[in-house]
Amino acid sequence: MKKVFLLLIGLGMSLLANAQKIAPFKAGDRVAFVGNSITDGGHYHSYIWLYYMTHFPNARITCFNVGIGGDAINQIYDRFDDDVFSKKPNILTLTWGMNDSGYFEWYRKDAQDFMDKRIEGSYKYYGMLEDKLKQRADIKKIFILGSPYDFASKFNKQNLYPGKVQAFSKIIDFQEAAAKNNGYGYVDFFHPMTAINQREQAKDSTFSLTPNDRIHPDNDGHLVMAYLFLKAQGLDNQSVADFAINAQNKKVLKAVNCRVSNVAADADSVGFNYLANSLPYPIDTIPRAWGNRKKQAEALKVVPFTKEFNQELLTVKGLKAGNYVVKIDGEQIAATSADQLSNGLNLAEITSTPQYQQAIQIRELNEERWDIERRTRMYKWMQYDFLRGKGLLYNDSNAAMDTVKKYAVKDIFVNGNKDNYSRARYKSLRDAWQMEMDVLTNQIYAINKPQNHRITIVAIK
């Protein structure tokens, strides 16, 4: 019975993987990532774009953050025409449900009945949005089964909403069924991230991919999300480069996603020209975004991102036993052994290489772009989650500013967006921000082309 059970699990996982396959983005794609605060203030879409910027430098795409913090599906529906379709996407991803599944409502005496009715209302609004999506055959739809609410972690006793886990899980099942019924692609964050939490909590009960409030993933969680998305696109195990040299006969044994030429060797050294088609993915080691404490790099402890997405493998056969210095363009980047070089050295893990340094510049430009885009999303929050209810949608007058100031005294969310709105309400500022983002993106695609390098490997005497 146990063997049959394990077989069924394996079969189920295989079918799930097949169902989740979605096509990679291609040059010219305009991708709108639609969601709530996890999209609005999060990095997963930016990390996905950074992978494309570095791995496919000649295939320019455009990605849009179209999240608004606090949104349930009815609010997403209300802004869809103006906020999503206006981006002119040919691909959109949609994630929702965290806010639909409630918070403090779970402490009501009639919590289950109340939330059942609310979620039924969410399904109704989803149906209206589905009708809208069906009218746009020109847009490819991808549903994202969202990152989980982590009730189990013991990092504190706050934000424990009884019933939310089960309610959100049912919404996830509903979304998966809707995607399948419509022939839409879907990517599952919910179940794999839940499994990672459970696995790691068995070792450390305080572990969580959402360590601040059980709801919002930190930077490591967002790289896990990007990892799952890219994997669903079938992009795992596509090397940055994989190349091998025989130092004795000066032969190129392998050159995957790169070109190797002008091999020269003597008794104590070998050198060659190297031009890759991709750049390594520059893993971030700085906590980013307000309220986050963890680094993107911490995700490498829980998913095999380096193994599956960041391999720039240099292999040299036929070297005499001993230790060697690896230089790129005359600068030492590693000291290693003939055995290690024979087995393969992953250059993508060496941050001092010129190609990694090039990729870091792309990452930092992308972070600047992300930061500016966040200002535009905060502006959209003020419009749709506050001013719309006051009959002041896109009014942006002094009266609107006065209303914001008035309510900011007691509303922490309005107060948190007040200063940004005081600038963003001027169209000239918003236009300037868009121009800044365009300049940054243009600069990224101007400098992201891999360069020819001379690699030399010299024996240490």
Domain end (from 179, 201, 232): 232
**Do 215 and 293 have their domain in common?**
no
Evaluate if residue 297 carries a pLDDT over 60: yes
**Do 144 and 265 have their domain in common?**
no
Domain count, the chain: 3
Read out DSSP for 249-282?
A: TTEEEEEESEEEEEEEE-SSEEEEEEEESS----
Q: What tens digit of pLDDT does each residue of 264-283 get? A: 999 899 999 999 999 999 99
**Do 320 and 376 have their domain in common?**
no
The torsion angles phi and psi of 237, rounded to 5 degrees, stand at: 65, 25
The torsion angles phi and psi of 91, rounded to 5 degrees, stand at: -140, 140
Which residues, 6+ apart, have CB-to-CB distance to 294 below 8 Å?
211, 218, 219, 220, 221, 287
**Do 75 and 194 have their domain in common?**
yes
Cα–Cα distance measured from residue 244 to residue 262, given in angstroms and rounded to the nearest whole number: 14
Confidence band of 60 (pLDDT split at 50, 70, 90): very high
User: What CATH number corresponds to the domain at position 148?
Assistant: 3.40.50.1110
Spatial contact of 284 and 205, defined as CB atoms under 8 Å apart: no
**Do 34 and 8 have their domain in common?**
yes
Which single residue is written with the structure tokens 């103006």? Answer: 82
Q: What is the pTM of this model?
A: 0.95
**Do 345 and 380 have their domain in common?**
no
Label residue 183 exposed, middle or buried (CB < 10 Å: 0-12, 13-18, 19+): exposed
How many CA atoms does the CB half-sphere of 298 hold within 13 Å?
19
Confidence band of 5 (pLDDT split at 50, 70, 90): very low
Spatial contact of 375 and 433, defined as CB atoms under 8 Å apart: yes
Q: Which helix (H) or strand (E) holds 1?
A: none
Which single residue is written with the structure tokens 């839940």? Answer: 194
Domain end (from 181, 215, 232): 232
**Do 367 and 339 have their domain in common?**
no
**Do 213 and 265 have their domain in common?**
no
Spatial contact of 235 and 186, defined as CB atoms under 8 Å apart: no
Domain end (from 194, 213, 232): 232
**Do 11 and 120 have their domain in common?**
yes
Mean pLDDT of the 67-83 span: 97
Instruction: Count CB atoms within 10 A of the CB of residue 126.
Output: 23
Cα–Cα distance measured from residue 57 to residue 275, given in angstroms and rounded to the nearest whole number: 13
Mean pLDDT of the 411-425 span: 97
**Do 55 and 186 have their domain in common?**
yes
Range of the domain at 256: 241-352+451-459
